[in-house]
Chains A and B, each alone.
Chain A
């Protein structure tokens, strides 16, 4: 019994002692949340390393951006926010901002002006889709195909994914309705401007599912960004959708026989938010980091490592060559005029409403 008591006592003591330590969040440390993989390492090189050198702050990387909204909600419920800066896609940022989980930013006050003298509001322009969201990159979800498996006629049109006769074999699509429903309608003759109006109706949804039905047996559904590149590299699929930066790394860095199909690429934004409810000291440091990491030069620097377009207009002329391969990055950007001949705009507000509903239907459809 004595041992029990002793054990209990020591456990309690160590517990309380370490909790006390955990509470006093180390002053010179900040947790930055991002997506992991090549994307995180581009941020590491372009932002974290120079910032740490400049300020002596230790940066801890957390790769939880995929669960950012859920985790921030739980942290907020608990009143203990452990993240300092979070990288999220625009739709998540809008949601977080709506719910008061992200700090509202005064862009002109708190961000650096552009190198060309423009104010941040002018420099980011339309990309400021939420009061809490500081855009960082423009990326697109687009298709890559195996050059050695498509025969003589390389696909140029997004509807090639529905053409299993010319391009037999599997394709990979993301395991969610977003983007797939739009592509299905586009390839079923719906005009670009009407897609969301059509998708709002039961018949429109049925039409999209019917179109997807035509290729259902030849689709591998992915849920992680790394899936399609791996499937393409293995020759498991002929073509597949993924983020353009992943395809760039597959084609240029890994040297795989894969090419890009830019048609009907869907643009999306990714950027920073600062969680609400930080102590003033941490908030100030987070703002300082974000101000540094989203200035003109830093945004242009990131494009040396990954093929995503910088969100500032003033960064575009500074986009140079790949850090190790030495190739020009501009032609690989989704926003490059040659690539952006036919693009599709993702409607954040529409999906915010219909996401749950369509997702349930999509899951049923998948399991049928």
Chain B
């Protein structure tokens, strides 16, 4: 077998492979800058946000000693933990108060149990006034060396003292770090605070060897459990401790449970009481409303795309401007324009009232009412589907249509689901028309004529010949509109009222008002997973590189 050689004398196969590799490399080199750019400016931020939905370091960072000792507490006991845990809590709390991290932890835990926020705030104020100063006084009275800051610093640098008094060494170190950071003082010039003396007292009474002998037999124990209970009785409530224990790991699925109306109980996930369930309903509502918007877009977009695809190019391009103009007009402006149009004293209602007052209005009223009733029936079907789905989920929230038309009353077209659907259909319609149009342009109209000449009626020709060929366009448009609409935030916020808002509005609320960023991230993650699923479907059905934006 003779080896085919390329011009440079190498085997042709190797040469071709090399060329192919070079070509691949060149393509990748061209793509690389953008890929890196997108990874850094877009993908990383999203990954970072997803991470926040499970991250829960705040508890163990703020109360490290408490979390460690709480391991030994039996949450089934029905009792608050014993003295050890409260001692650890005392140390943690004094430090957290100085670092001002205790209220932040309080608000974090308040998401799980109402009242913890004020419990922490109160305790932060109270913890500096505990009776532990009796220890300090007694120890300093027993030997004045304990009132000397420099002496303390020397002891705490001595490994034998540290080995004898591990807990005191630990609290002293934490105290020293805090003094340097928050008070900007030198530890060797300050007498340690009461909590350092407390740990010294506890260790000495348990038989540890202090650097200078101490007799503390006459000093009574101050129960920190009682001290905390004095500040707020809730500290004796085992449920509070249960929450602290459940949320002590560095990572939690608690936010995800919250975002599906569950909470993390002692035995795992539990369902929230009915009057606190919102998210599942909101997710389903978001999906159903996006579905309705998608349906409306198909209904309105199909005829337009057909017209544009079958008109002569010059006319079609002119009409295309009518499609693209709203597409390029500020979203905020279009939304506020819909407000002006749709409100009760707005343009549409005013026109209807004027129309009713004219003689042909009176004459044509039955027709008009008939049309409205057809719309109403259509909406009722959606309502029915909604309620069936909702029944499966056990939700309580029905879909309410505010579109009941009684007599000549002004229609409620805004601040409800109707408003959101109308405004968003308008905003997303171009995203339906453009892909439909680009598909329809490739369908030769002669197929229709051929069908007709073979004896098909107009309807059969359309339905059996034209329509199936336009289905890829419908698919592309539908998924695009659906994906875009379930993530919408601004328009529902402005025209949606209370029942026309989407899950994104809740995400925004948790980011900027309630500051429950973990929950926002968890809701966002779920939404992202749904969108990515649809995106994957879109890729399978249409292919990502087949997205067209006009022409």
Contacts and interface: CB of A to CB of B under 8 A. Distances in A.
A and B touch in the complex (CB under 8 A): yes
Interface of A: 1, 4, 7-8, 66-67, 69-70, 73, 95, 98-100, 170, 175, 220-221, 223, 234-236, 349, 352-357, 359-361, 363-368
B114 A364 contact: no
B287 to A, nearest CB: 15
A99 B100 contact: yes
Contact of A367 (B101, B117, B282, B493): B282
Interface string B103-126: 110010011001101100100000
B29 interface: yes
Contacts of B498: 175, 221, 366-367
Contact of A98 (B121, B276, B285, B511): B121
Contacts of A234: 343, 345-346
Nearest to B121: A98
Nearest to A206: B275
Contact of B104 (A99, A352, A360, A366): A99
Nearest to B511: A70
B415 interface: yes
B111 A356 contact: yes
B70 to A, nearest CB: 23
Nearest to A276: B100
B127 to A, nearest CB: 14
A181 to B, nearest CB: 14
B33 A8 contact: yes
Contacts of B121: 98, 349, 352
Interface centre among A70, A223, A234, A368, by most chain B C-beta atoms within 10 angstroms, is A368
Contacts of A66: 512
Given A98-B100, A98-B121, A356-B110, A368 B396 contact: yes
Nearest to A349: B118
A99 B117 CA distance: 12
Contacts of B103: 95, 98-99
A367 B397 contact: yes
Contacts of A69: 515
B27 to A, nearest CB: 11
A367 B499 contact: yes
Interface string B78-120: 0000000000000000000001110110010011001101100
B277 interface: yes
Interface in B452-496: 493
Contact of B345 (A70, A235, A366): A235
B278 A363 contact: yes
Given A170-B344, A352-B117, A364-B277, A1 B514 contact: no
Nearest to B37: A11
Contact of A356 (B101, B281, B344, B516): B516
Contacts of A98: 100, 103-104, 121
Contacts of A236: 343-345
Contacts of B344: 170, 236
Given A99-B104, A234-B345, A353 B515 contact: no
Interface in B292-349: 343-346
Given A220-B415, A236-B343, A356-B111, A361 B118 contact: no
21 contacts: A4-B33, A66-B512, A70-B513, A70-B515, A99-B103, A100-B101, A175-B498, A220-B497, A221-B497, A235-B345, A236-B345, A353-B110, A353-B115, A356-B114, A356-B514, A361-B275, A363-B278, A364-B276, A367-B278, A367-B498, A368-B397
B419 to A, nearest CB: 11
Interface of B: 26, 29-30, 33, 99-101, 103-104, 107, 110-111, 114-115, 117-118, 121, 275-278, 281-282, 285, 343-346, 396-397, 415, 493, 497-499, 506, 511-516
B118 A352 contact: yes
Nearest to A68: B512
B116 to A, nearest CB: 8
A223 B497 CA distance: 10
B283 to A, nearest CB: 12
A1 B344 CA distance: 61
B29 A1 contact: yes
A69 B282 CA distance: 26
Nearest to B416: A220
A70 B509 CA distance: 11
B550 to A, nearest CB: 28
B523 to A, nearest CB: 13
Contacts of A73: 515
A280 to B, nearest CB: 13
Nearest to B112: A356
A365 B499 CA distance: 11
Contacts of A100: 99-101
Contact of B276 (A4, A95, A223, A361): A361
| Interface hub of B100, B121, B415, B498 (most chain A Cβ within 10 A) | B498
Given A66-B512, A99-B100, A220-B415, A353 B117 contact: yes
A170 to B, nearest CB: 7
Contacts of A365: 275
B277 to A, nearest CB: 6
A364 to B, nearest CB: 5
A236 B344 CA distance: 6
Q: Which 6 A-B pairs have the closest CB atoms?
A: A100-B100, A98-B103, A357-B114, A366-B498, A67-B512, A353-B118
A363 B282 CA distance: 10
B340 to A, nearest CB: 9
A316 B29 CA distance: 71
B277 A359 contact: no
Contacts of B343: 234, 236
B532 to A, nearest CB: 26
A95 B117 CA distance: 11
Contacts of A175: 498
A242 B33 CA distance: 51
Contacts of B514: 355-356, 359
B29 A360 contact: no
Nearest to B396: A368
Contact of B512 (A70, A95, A235, A360): A70
B52 to A, nearest CB: 11
